[in-house]
């Protein structure tokens, strides 16, 4: 394995173990509101520190872009980390959340790791070397259409202005696909698309740390990811459509008619 992927796995497991140790002391956690419907706990912060400590020991000069902090450093190597994706689930004891760690080298995604500390499942990808779940190779079906499939999504609850357009997308996709799921962790949803537990996924207004690792996992498993114009800008604008190749295009077709000018570019 790519030595940087090894470090990412070590960091993800260390953060995941810390999160798991805190699941039964939720009532004693300090929780703060960061913004509209957006919370952070000590566990998010400690997990992020754990990740940074592990990576810094191996790569002292690399830069970090994290949900809870950032740092300056070597701009060629940027670690994009979400220490606890699905914080709302975690704070409710709803057992569906994950650690997400990606590495960008000169602007290109090189490594992506997503770890579910509840089920102890590890999803990992390195560019050009494929994607795995607990060491087993993941391959997405190339020619599957959207009809009768299971599609994941997330609500734009921090961007109420997108809600009307979102509800139109929801209706179009719902009428076409078999069923929808809204599980509350974008990173884990993308890992589930890569591993075939979901057939596709879309969401509006995410952050780079929610998406980066999952995007590489899906591409390395043979799937496609893009923004609502089908382009590569999803890490910047946070709009994401994902699925196996045919399904990706089917899903875009349902979503695009409802896009507003604010969702383009």
Binding site for Ca ion (CB under 5 A): 82, 85, 210
For residue 183, count CB atoms less than 10 angstroms from its CB and return exposed for 0-12, middle for 13-18, buried for 19 or more: middle
Task: Pull the structure tokens for residue 189.
Answer: 């949803």
CA–CA separation, 96 vs 249, rounded Å?
28
- According to CB under 6 A, which residues from 1 to 20 bind ligand 2AM? none
Buried b (16+ CB within 10 A) or exposed e, 90-99: bbeeeebbbb
99's torsion region: left (phi>0), alpha (psi -120 to 50) or beta?
A: beta
Which of 13, 47, 81, 87 forms a contact with ligand 2AM (CB under 6 A)? Answer: 87
Say how many residues touch ligand 2AM, by CB under 6 A: 18
Which of 184, 200, 223, 226 forms a contact with ligand 2AM (CB under 6 A)? Answer: 184
Which of 56, 96, 158, 181 forms a contact with ligand 2AM (CB under 6 A)? Answer: 158
Q: Mask: binding to ligand 2AM, 40-79, rule CB under 6 A, as x and -?
A: ---------------------------x------------
Question: Considering only CA atoms, which of 4, 18, 111, 109 is closest in space to residue 55?
Answer: 4
205 binds, among Ca ion, ligand 2AM, none (CB under 5 to 8 A by kind): ligand 2AM
206 binds, among ligand 2AM, Ca ion, none (CB under 5 to 8 A by kind): ligand 2AM
CB nearer to ligand 2AM: pick between 184 and 223 = 184
Verify binding: residue 185, ligand 2AM, rule CB under 6 A.
yes
130's torsion region: left (phi>0), alpha (psi -120 to 50) or beta?
A: left
Task: Pull the structure tokens for residue 18.
Answer: 């810390």
Binding interface with ligand 2AM (CB under 6 A): 67, 82, 85-88, 154, 156-159, 184-186, 205-207, 210
């Amino acid at each position: 394995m790519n030595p940087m992927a090894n470090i990412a796995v070590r960091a993800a497991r260390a953060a995941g173990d810390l999160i798991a140790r805190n699941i039964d002391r939720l009532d004693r956690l300090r929780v703060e509101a960061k913004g509209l419907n957006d919370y952070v706990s000590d566990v998010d912060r400690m997990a992020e520190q754990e990740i940074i400590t592990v990576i810094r020991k191996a790569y002292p000069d690399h830069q970090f872009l994290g949900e809870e902090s950032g740092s300056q450093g070597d701009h060629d190597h940027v670690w994009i980390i979400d220490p606890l994706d699905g914080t709302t689930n975690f704070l409710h004891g709803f057992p569906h959340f994950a650690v997400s760690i990606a590495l960008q080298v000169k602007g290109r995604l090189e490594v992506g790791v997503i770890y579910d500390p509840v089920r102890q499942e590890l999803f990992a990808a390195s560019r050009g070397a494929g994607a795995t779940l607990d060491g087993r190779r993941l391959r997405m079906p190339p020619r599957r259409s959207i009809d009768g499939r299971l599609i994941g999504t997330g609500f734009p609850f921090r961007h109420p202005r997108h809600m009307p357009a979102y509800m139109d997308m929801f209706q179009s996709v719902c009428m076409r696909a078999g069923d929808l799921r809204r599980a509350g962790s974008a990173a884990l949803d993308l890992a589930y698309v890569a591993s075939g537990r979901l057939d596709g996924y879309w969401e509006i207004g995410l952050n780079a740390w929610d998406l980066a690792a999952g995007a590489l996992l899906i591409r390395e498993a043979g799937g496609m990811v893009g923004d609502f114009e089908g382009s590569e800008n999803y890490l910047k604008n946070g709009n994401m459509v994902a699925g196996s190749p045919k399904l990706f295009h089917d899903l875009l077709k349902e979503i695009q008619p409802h896009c507003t000018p604010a969702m383009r570019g």
